[in-house]
Amino acid sequence: MKKSSYNGSKLKDSHFTNTTLKGADFSGVDLLGTVFHNCGLCHADFSSSTQYDIDPRTNKITTAKFSFPEAAGLLRAFDISLV
Taking the domains of the chain in order of start, what are their residue ranges?
1-76
DSSP state of 17: E
pTM score, whole prediction: 0.89
How many Cβ atoms from other residues are within 10 Å of residue 23's Cβ? 18
Alpha helix stretches (DSSP H) within the chain: none
pLDDT in tens, 24-37: 999 999 999 999 99
Segments of the chain with pLDDT less than 70 = none
Tell me yes or no: is domain 1-76 CATH 3.40.50.150.
no
- Cis geometry, peptide bond prior to residue 69 (ω within 30 degrees of 0): yes
Alpha-carbon torsion (31, 32, 33, 38), positive or negative: positive
